[in-house]
Amino acid sequence: MTAVIRAEKLSKWYGNVLGLSDVSLEIGPGITGLLGPNGAGKSTLMKLLTGQLKPSIGRVTIHGADVWNNMALFADIGFCPEQDAFYDELTGWEFVTRLLSLYGFSRADAASKAERALHFVELFKDKDRPLRGYSRGMRQRLKIAQTVAHEPGILILDEPLNGLDPLSKRKVIRLIKDFRDAGKTVLVSSHVLPEIEALTRSIVLLHQGKILAQGDIPYIRDLIDKHPHKISVKGSDPRALAASLVAQAAVQNIQFGPEPGTVVFETGDRDVLFGLLPRLIVERGIDIEEITSPDDNLQAVFDYLVGT
């Protein structure tokens, strides 16, 4: 993967408060989720990546060029800020077209791009209303419109799904995936894990200003040795299944429930357990309805790493 966005040993102090500590990462084409609890440093990292803040230590580059005070880079970057702030005197149409004019587009080009962007976020029919009269969701959609209107190659989105209704969220998630499919680079930050999970399996997990984990969700999960994997099996005779496996070294713990007919195995080696299960099912004739990994997801990874 060719890194589009690169952060090298990035640290940021706000006076005596450390906002970000020794963060190094590379982000390439595709969707990368940046997640962490409130105060983890996500917004600080976003601001460093978009040149709003200068690193105290380290370097941020996009396409190999330093970001700080390098305005030329922003022709290809679309940034959706977290704060709900606008030029309230303007209408939606004026807001998008006027910002497009700063890219050097002609009036006609700006109009057509604005129209496309506003249609996409379903704000075209409200384009002539003053922004003061927009609801929270409309304002969020407008932010997304101004982010994508100039068709950038890199999207940096800070909590883009805030305030959106479920249908709008699906549309925006679809848009972001379309960007990924077009080979563009997308960095999305959120503290809402299901949103990130719906978008990508490639994450950067921040906590207290440091990167706790980075990469594919299952890959990260596998690295967490401290917490054994949970395999939940629902079937006709969970106790018989449990009895068959209790002697196996790979099985560290067995729990029944919470659902009737369910047994949850904790194992340090999923591959061994998944190898044993089919053999036992056939030999003992146990009916199995469902096999799942309850903690092979982002929430579990988050909980284990952040420790809440």
Partner 1 sequence: MKSFARSVRALASFFWFVGRKARRTKVFVLLGALPVLMSLVIQANRLFTPGTSVDGPAVFSNIVMTFNLQFLILVLALFYGTSVCAEELEGKTLTYLTTRPVPKPAIILGKYFAYAAFLILVVAAGVALSFVVLHIDRLGDAASWLVLLRSLGVLALGLLVYTAFFTLVGTVLKKSVLFGLMFSFGWENIVQYFPGATQKFTIMHYLKSLLPAVSTGGEGSFAFLLFKLEPSPPEAAVVTLAVLTAAFLGLACWIFSRKEYLFED
Partner 2 sequence: MPISEQGYSHWTGTFVERRLPWWPITRLGIRMAFKRKFFKFAFAISFLPAFIFAAGIYISERLEDFQFMLRGRRGSTSFLEVNPAYFKSYFGGDFLLFMMVMIMVLAGAGLIADDLKSNSLQLYFSRPIRKRDYILGKMSTLAFFLLLYTLVPGVLFILLKFLFAGSFKLVANYPWIPLAVLLDSLLLTLFFSFYTLLLSSLSRNRRYTAILLFLVYLFSDIFFGIFYGIFRKPGFCLLSIKANLQQVAAALFRVKPPFDVPWIYSLLILAAIGLACGAVLVRKTRGVEVIT
Structure tokens given for 167? 């249908």
Strand, coil or helix: what is 245?
helix
Exactly one of 104, 133, 257, 294 binds partner 2 (CB under 8 A); which one?
133
Q: Which does 232 bind (CB under 5 to 8 A by kind): partner 1, partner 2, none?
A: none
- Of 224, 292, 227, the C-alpha closest to 259 is 292
Assess 87 for contact with partner 1 (CB under 8 A). Answer: yes
Q: Least distance to partner 1 from the beta carbon of 111, Å?
A: 15
Instruction: Examine residue 257 and tell whether it contacts partner 2 (CB under 8 A).
Output: no
Separation between Cα atoms, residue 139 and residue 145, nearest integer Å: 10
Contact between 54 and partner 2 by CB under 8 A: the answer reads no
Euclidean distance between CA atoms 8 and 101, whole angstroms: 34
Region binding partner 1 by CB under 8 A among candidate stretches 73-81, 187-195, 265-273, 289-297: 73-81
Q: Beta strands of 15-135 (E only): which ranges?
A: 17-27, 30-35, 57-62, 65-66, 77-80
Of 72-80, 95-103, 108-116, 127-135, which part binds partner 2 (CB under 8 A)? 127-135
φ, ψ at 156 (rounded to 5°): -120, 115
List, in sequence order, the alpha helices (H) in 102-206. Answer: 107-120, 136-148, 166-181, 193-199
* Residue 132 interaction partner, one of partner 2, partner 1, none, beta carbon < 5-8 Å per kind: partner 2
Minimum distance of partner 1 from residue 84's CB (angstroms): 8
Helix (H) or strand (E) holding 93, with range, is helix 92-101
- With respect to partner 1, which residue has the nearer C-beta, 87 or 256? 87
Residue 211, SS3 per DSSP:
strand
**Binding segment (CB under 8 A) for partner 1, from list 86-94, 116-124, 273-281, 286-294:** 86-94
Question: Is position 134 an interface residue for partner 1 (rule: CB under 8 A)?
Answer: no
Packed helices 136-148 and 107-120: angle between N→C axes, nearest 10 degrees: 130
Q: Which residues of 181-216 are buried (b: 16+ CB within 10 A; e: fewer)?
A: eeebbbbbbbbebebbbbbbbbbbbbbebbbbbbee
Residue 72 binding partner 1, by CB under 8 A: yes
Residue 57 interacting partner from partner 2, partner 1, none (CB closer than 5 to 8 Å by kind):
none
- Residues 161-200, one symbol each (x = binds partner 2 by CB under 8 A, - = not), give ----------------------------------------
133 binds, among partner 2, partner 1, none (CB under 5 to 8 A by kind): partner 2
Residues that bind partner 1 (CB under 8 A): 14, 50-54, 69, 71-75, 77, 79, 81, 83, 85-87, 89-90, 94, 98-99, 101-104, 146
- Give me the residues that bind partner 2 (CB under 8 A), please: 130, 132-133
